[in-house]
Structure 1
Amino acid sequence: MQAPPSRLIDLRLGVLMAIIVVAALTRLIPHPPNFTPIAAIGLFGGAYLTRRWMAFAAPLGAMFVSDLVLGLHSGMWVVYGAMAVAVGLGFLLRQNRSAGRVLGATLAGTLSFFVLTNLAVWAFSGMYPRTPEGLVACYVAALPFLQNSLAGDLTFALALFGGFHLAQQHFAWLRDPVPAAA
């Protein structure tokens, strides 16, 4: 199979980057707490951006730009770390982006975000005693946010993966530039 011209690869990359930036900017629109595209953006970047460094840099950079508007905070490192985990999960989707695999990766991304960010709240915020009971209380108090995170991640994963899949059906130049290995 002949490789596509580099200008088509560059155009495809530009579309992917624009999708990630637009999704990150949706954080600036009023929304329920934790109903954001964070994990979905990480998954999408990991699944579609062919250069690993770019798969991390694009979603994390887009998040940083939106955080400059929303405000920086001391727990950002945990949020960005959880997003990096989602990018890693996206790498697992590169060869097979079936609906079931995207769903599984989205659920794993949501749960890893929940576990990591609330562990950090328990460990560093001083809001909960650093005891097993305090850890349980922290996770129980965060359950309403988990519900919103899951709804947001599923919504944005469907929009990103489903929308790009549909676009690939109509525009051949958006399809993967390098065929998947057998």
Structure 2
Amino acid sequence: MFYLMILAVAASRFLPHPPNVACVAALGLFAGSYMSGRRAYLVPIGVMALSDIMGQMLGIPGLGFYNLAAMAMVYLGMAASVPIGRMLRNAGGTSRLWKVPAASVAASTVFFVVSNFGTILAGWYPMSVAGFTACYINAIPFYGFTVAGDLCFSAVIFSAYALSQSRFRLPVLAKA
């Protein structure tokens, strides 16, 4: 199931969309919640790598490898959604009504902080208080897109899985 989701989400990065609206972090949250072991980290990293390799080969703007420091931080920011998904899985109680959106906003925020630090490391802003301030202020509109996309895609992925479990009696994914 996760392999199909990786392919679908990787393909979705090629569709027209607003900047920073992607379902990679939502899939990372889902993988963290439902996959066991370290292989959950391969889900968001696999999506990013697959789509970036194809984007690089096809010369698609916005996809591909543009700066090692920036890309490393983008990948790290996406992978950070997995431990947030693990916290979501381990949270007590039965209702996920507010927990999934909260985890989604947390993943968006971590990605915002980490990926923008990557732009500073890449040399696009000076390593100074003024540079940090300018970087994070300029990125605020992108943060809004990230939050909106992550909230929507998290709702779709988690709801679709819950519905498919109850409707079609699919086996529960590993939670160990």
Superposed CA deviations along residues 99-148 of structure 1, whole A, max 9, x for unmatched, are: 211111111100000001111212x2322222112111111111111111
Q: What letter is aligned with 2:98? A: G
Kindly indicate whether the alpha-carbon contact (under 8 Å) linking 1:167 and 1:174 is maintained by their aligned counterparts in 2: no
Q: Which blocks of at least 5 consecutive residues in structure 2 are unaligned?
A: 56-63
Kindly indicate whether the alpha-carbon contact (under 8 Å) linking 2:45 and 2:78 is maintained by their aligned counterparts in 1: yes
Equivalences for residues 1-182 of structure 1 within 5 A? 15-50=1-36, 52-70=37-55, 71-74=64-67, 75-95=70-90, 98-122=96-120, 124-176=121-173
Measure how far apart 1:22 and its partner are: 1.0
Runs of 4 or more, structure 1, over 6 Å off, are none
* Partner Cα separation in structure 2 for residue 100 and residue 17 of structure 1: 28
Q: What letter is aligned with 2:27? A: I
* Partner Cα separation in structure 2 for residue 136 and residue 148 of structure 1: 20
Aligned residues: 163
Kindly indicate whether the alpha-carbon contact (under 8 Å) linking 1:37 and 1:156 is maintained by their aligned counterparts in 2: yes
What SS does the aligned partner of 2:89 have?
A: coil
Q: Which blocks of at least 5 consecutive residues in structure 1 are unaligned?
A: 1-14
* Partner Cα separation in structure 1 for residue 160 and residue 115 of structure 2: 29
Superposed CA deviations along residues 84-109 of structure 1, whole A, max 9, x for unmatched, are: 21111111122457121111111110
What SS does the aligned partner of 1:103 have?
A: helix
Structure 1 residues 177 and 49: CA distance shift in structure 2, 3 A: closer
Q: Select the structure of larger CA radius of gyration.
A: 1
Kindly indicate whether the alpha-carbon contact (under 8 Å) linking 1:47 and 1:90 is maintained by their aligned counterparts in 2: yes
Kindly indicate whether the alpha-carbon contact (under 8 Å) linking 1:20 and 1:45 is maintained by their aligned counterparts in 2: no
* Partner Cα separation in structure 2 for residue 81 and residue 30 of structure 1: 24
Structure 1 residues 177 and 125: CA distance shift in structure 2, 3 A: closer
Identical columns (%): 36
Q: Give the structure-2-normalised TM-score.
A: 0.84
* Partner Cα separation in structure 1 for residue 125 and residue 30 of structure 2: 34
